Structure 1
């Protein structure tokens, strides 16, 4: 069972469509793996639908009957069994540990991404870096490795996709949704049984605090869309 979930405020913003797109992606990836939060979303969506229905003034019977018919037909079609081809089975192997919400960004699997090594045990692959927006990336860390001690200059969302890691606040497994901000300083450590791959959404770059790893900070700023396109002099 997952131990870390989005807050009710985040789920409410997601349900209403007011959550920033990058953050909404993180929630979607978590929902793909968390039955508990999917049930929470079902309840929130039902409440939202009831509130929306109260605002409808023109609800002509013929219009509502047509709408109901279309909805029921869509539900019936979605319940039909789907035959899986050999190609689809092969795709499932490629997409192992990749939630459905991420598959368009990782169409060929983890190994085909452009991984940038930051340390001998830590790699980063950028999925989206729209100018002025948050950075959407994957981190990949070897089994048993400890990430450099760092803090955050803004909000960070992490969703574990494969493996597990821990810090002073707990142990995080596949599917867990973790939020950090500028008040957090930590040194994550990956469990020894498997590598750890996480989705990370950074509103602004992290800052390494160790005296040997601070040289990485200009690199992190350079590759973050909120810090311009040139290395600081």
Structure 2
């Protein structure tokens, strides 16, 4: 199951929860402003790390798909991308106060063989979404880093408002990464299906055998037959 935070946002609603909204921006530098500035300055190293990882993983995994190790490397890279997404959500929770549910884990420990597990990892939508997010995020990381660092020396009187606007864009990006694939995967069916068939419905129980006639019904039938025999004998007499 997924690990949920104390006050998650309602399902189907991508808006901010009441606890996610920071106080209005002011000219004074309060705690929320400094946290947003720290987040914006950390965007460049975080996006650079994600971009380098994604490019290296894609070129290595896709380039080696002609060999026997290409697809396993690509699957391992997608699982690593999940960990990058987990770090990004933790950074958003700590610095921006955004509360986002963790996506469901891949059920890879339930057996089923190597190739079914490999195919499950290769088609993981959470991993591919993180790859796309880290691939296109580098320009935004450069923009927020340069804008925030320049404003610290040149536009410092209005930096709280600039930081609030950029941080709100980051909050929207973090929330936009949620989708139905982030919903927790129910494990009741997986447990009922057994270790060999994850997610399959349990087999239907066999129909009950036909009920044999009871002793009371048998005795009643004998009594009716004896009565008919006596009536027939009385009629002939």
> TM-score when scaled to structure 2?
0.25
Higher relative contact order (CA 8 A, sep 6+): 2
Structure exhibiting the larger radius of gyration computed from Cα positions: 2
> TM-score when scaled to structure 1?
0.25
Question: Greater share of strand residues, 1 or 2?
Answer: 1
